[in-house]
Structure 1
Amino acid sequence: MALSSILKPEAVKVFSAASSKKRLFQEIGDVASGAYQLDPQDTVEALLERESLGPTGVGHGVALPHARMPGIDAVIGIFLMLEKPIDFGAVDRQPVDIAFALFAPEESGVEHLKALALVSRTLRDPALCIKLRANPDAATLYTLLTEAQPVAA
């Protein structure tokens, strides 16, 4: 599995006005609507429901919000780079400026976990995160992400 199989260029955005986790989820919902024709409210509700189980901030300024949703036939991704980091309740208490959201079919099993592991390994690469943070252009971000080689587990 490659990031290019779950991420469309139009699902990569730079976002400046996130003031909270909920506002970030609303922006993810808007991107999901435009890129994948998902209902934005359903998307936000699915993310909030999953987040209620525990924060998806994995540390080092990275969050991996994810949810299972009806009406999806494959795992899909949305990448947002935040110009101003926000509190996300991350495990290391660091604010988040990189968010990679994943959505999977309700009945998906191992594919959802494989995609989550791939994104996690990829964004664990400090050199890649430095490049992402230095390039506030969506097309460049997409290229960096889809050409990245995941860090070995």
Structure 2
Amino acid sequence: MQLADILRPDGVKVISSSPSKRRLFQDLAEMAGSCWRLDPAKVNEALLEREALGPTGVGHGVALPHARLQGLDRVRGLFLRLDKALDFDAVDRQPVDLIFALLAPASAGVEHLRALALVSRTLRDPAICAKLRANDDPATLHTILTEGGPRNLAA
């Protein structure tokens, strides 16, 4: 599995800010609707339900919200970069400006975990995060994510 398998260019966006985590999930859900033709209401609900189990802010300004959804055939990804970082209840208490959301089939076990591990490894790289923060163009951000990170994670 490679990030290019789960992240399309139209699944990458830069927004100036978000007033809350709840609104951010709504933005991600709308992106999932336009990019992956998923029901935004179901995506939003699934992200909120998962976040209620525990915050997905992993530290260093990165969040990895994820959820399982009925009707998906494989793992799908979305990436948002915020110009103004948002309080996300991250483990290190730092605000978040890089958000990679994963949506997985309800039955996905190992595939979901592999995708999460791949995204996590990619966004733990300080050089990649610095490049993401230094660019505003969604096409460039997609290229950084799909070509600059770990090449793949065995299927």
* Bucket of the pairwise TM-score, normalised by the shorter protein: over 0.9
Alignment of 1:23-102 (within 5 A): 23-102=23-102
Equivalent position of 1:150 in the other structure: 150
C-alpha distance in 1 between matches for 2:140 and 2:148 = 12
C-alpha distance in 1 between matches for 2:15 and 2:28 = 10
Q: Is 1:104 aligned to 2:123, yes or no?
A: no
C-alpha distance in 2 between matches for 1:143 and 1:110 = 26
DSSP 3-state at the match of 2:88: coil
Alignment deviations for residues 43-77 of structure 1 (CA, whole Å, 9 cap, x no partner): 11000000000000000000000000011000000
Equivalent position of 2:132 in the other structure: 132
Equivalent position of 1:10 in the other structure: 10
Alignment deviations for residues 65-104 of structure 1 (CA, whole Å, 9 cap, x no partner): 0000011000000000011100000000000000000000
C-alpha distance in 1 between matches for 2:17 and 2:42 = 21
RMSD of aligned residue pairs (Cα, Å): 1.0
| Aligned partner letter, 2:136 | P
Runs of 5+ unmatched residues, structure 1: none
DSSP 3-state at the match of 1:150: coil
DSSP 3-state at the match of 1:52: helix
Following superposition, which runs of at least 4 residues in structure 1 exceed 4 angstroms of deviation?
none
Tell me if the contact between 1:125 and 1:150 (Cα under 8 Å) persists in the aligned partners: no
User: TM-score, structure 1 length as denominator?
Assistant: 0.97
| Aligned partner letter, 1:22 | R
* Identical positions, percent: 65
DSSP 3-state at the match of 2:49: helix
Count of equivalent residues: 151
C-alpha distance in 1 between matches for 2:150 and 2:63 = 17
| Aligned partner letter, 2:46 | A
C-alpha distance in 1 between matches for 2:5 and 2:104 = 13
| Aligned partner letter, 1:100 | F
How far is the alpha carbon of 1:150 from its aligned partner? Answer: 2.3
Alignment deviations for residues 5-61 of structure 1 (CA, whole Å, 9 cap, x no partner): 000000000011311101110100110000000111111100000000000000000
C-alpha distance in 1 between matches for 2:130 and 2:81 = 12
Tell me if the contact between 2:128 and 2:149 (Cα under 8 Å) persists in the aligned partners: no
